[in-house]
């Protein structure tokens, strides 16, 4: 019998780094020499292009649709279509196996890769991430060969541990790529809770990721007190997270207006961090620079709002106006927050004595055309300013 754990086949099909033993397809299947299954494996292993492998699989499916080997065929379809970046097809064939109650570690990891690469999410793939720890225990559990030396056995164990660690690490990575795509915040929180129970090392090893995911879910669900709690946990685990500093500052000042000192400190920290932001590997320079500008703009927006609130006592609107003007210049690629900055700038111009009606109308006109949560207020205030100018 030709065992499908053959190293040559595994090398051809692995899609992630790791020991030779890692993530091999169909670990429970064996192939008898000179059978249609054997011919299929030889064709797949001898093919030079993924398209040739698909053709071999298609031929087998047409001629042997009732074969007990079909789950393995589906798994090879999954891996092949993943090579071709045909994520929909990869997902289709992987989920055929799952629907037929067949699964193994390689299949689930390739399903995750297809969903991550295809920009999609489903309960099926999120559930797959939670099954990895148990599959690692059952599939990556070497037995000592009879004639293995102590050194050889130690190496086997080390490779098995590395394989398991690699598989677990990818499942965790995939989960944190996938879970933000769940649009229902309550459902997202349910998945986060389930994941945290299955991966007990989450709170220590992945504290920044899990807390940030909870933060964004509670924020989207408008549970602001819980969002603030998890936001603080996020920056405690990841003190360089400029985006969370900015959101915390915005929540404390603009949304709740409950802790202006904390908001100011967080906004200034965010502004400081924009000076040392590192471009993600592979990110285009222009995209990265827009993100830096947006983050700086958010910090100035919050600082401007804080200065505006304080002007009630200081009677000085210039600091707020300058911050809002800087925010406007920095937020040109963020229409929603640009609309807010323009609204606050117009409001500040109109609140001065004497009021700067012209400046207010220019800012409010721009705000009224932008999709911010203050768009309606901008239109109303613009109408009032225009009326005041006519009078």
**pLDDT, tens digit (0-9, with 9 covering 90-100), for 64-93:** 999 999 999 999 999 999 999 999 999 999
Reported as a pLDDT band with limits 50, 70 and 90, residue 278 is very high
Strand, helix or coil for residue 284: coil
DSSP state of 2: E
Tokens 């963020």, located at residue = 334
Q: What is the CATH number of domain 2-142+153-181?
A: 1.25.40
Mean pLDDT of the chain: 91
Q: What is the pTM of this model?
A: 0.86
pLDDT at 6: 36
pLDDT cut 90: percent of the chain above it: 83
Question: Is the backbone of residue 81 left (phi > 0), alpha (psi -120 to 50) or beta?
Answer: alpha
Give CA–CA dist 165/167, Å, rounded: 5
Summarised one tens digit per residue, pLDDT across range 147-196 is 999 999 999 999 999 999 999 999 999 999 999 999 999 999 999 999 99
Instruction: Tell me the CA end-to-end span of the chain in Å, nearest whole number.
Output: 95
Count of CB atoms within 10 A of residue 260's CB?
17
Task: Give 287-290's long-range contacts (Cβ < 8 A, gap of 24+).
Answer: 290/333
Domain boundaries, the chain: 2-142+153-181, 240-323, 334-391
Reported as a pLDDT band with limits 50, 70 and 90, residue 23 is low
């Amino acid at each position: 019998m030709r065992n499908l754990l053959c190293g040559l086949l595994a090398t051809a099909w692995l899609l992630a780094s790791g020991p030779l033993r890692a993530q091999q397809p169909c670990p429970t299947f064996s192939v008898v020499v000179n059978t249609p299954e054997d011919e299929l494996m030889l064709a797949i292993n001898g093919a030079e292009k993924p398209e040739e492998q698909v053709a071999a699989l298609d031929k087998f499916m047409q001629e042997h649709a009732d074969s007990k080997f079909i789950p393995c065929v589906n798994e090879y379809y999954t891996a092949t279509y993943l090579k071709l970046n045909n994520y929909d097809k990869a997902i289709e064939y992987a989920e055929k196996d799952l629907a037929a109650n067949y699964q193994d570690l390689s299949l689930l990891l390739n399903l995750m890769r297809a969903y991550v690469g295809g920009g999609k999410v489903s309960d099926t793939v999120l559930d797959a991430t939670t099954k990895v720890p148990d599959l690692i225990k059952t599939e990556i559990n070497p037995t000592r060969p009879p004639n293995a030396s102590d050194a050889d056995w130690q190496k086997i164990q080390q490779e098995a541990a590395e394989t398991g660690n690699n598989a677990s690490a990818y499942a965790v990575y995939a989960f944190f790529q996938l879970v933000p795509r769940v649009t229902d915040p309550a459902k997202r929180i349910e998945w986060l809770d389930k994941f945290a129970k299955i991966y007990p090392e989450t709170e220590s090893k992945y504290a920044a990721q899990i807390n940030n995911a909870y933060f964004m879910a509670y924020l989207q669900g408008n549970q602001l007190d819980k969002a603030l709690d998890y936001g603080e946990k996020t920056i405690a685990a990841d003190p360089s997270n400029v985006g969370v500093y900015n959101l915390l500052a915005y929540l404390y000042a603009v949304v709740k207006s409950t802790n202006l000192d904390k908001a100011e400190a967080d906004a200034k920290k965010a502004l400081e961090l924009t000076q040392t932001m590192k471009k993600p590997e592979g990110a285009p320079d222009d995209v990265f620079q827009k993100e830096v500008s947006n983050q700086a703009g958010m910090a100035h927006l919050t600082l401007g709002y804080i200065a505006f609130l304080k002007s009630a006592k200081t009677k000085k609107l210039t600091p707020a106006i300058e911050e809002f003007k800087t925010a406007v210049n920095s937020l040109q690629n963020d229409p929603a927050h640009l609309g807010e900055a323009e609204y606050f700038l117009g409001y500040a111009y109109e609140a001065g004595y004497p009021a700067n009606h012209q400046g207010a109308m220019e800012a409010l006109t721009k705000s009224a055309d932008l999709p911010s949560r203050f768009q309606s207020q901008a239109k109303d205030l613009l109408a009032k300013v225009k009326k005041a100018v006519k009078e």
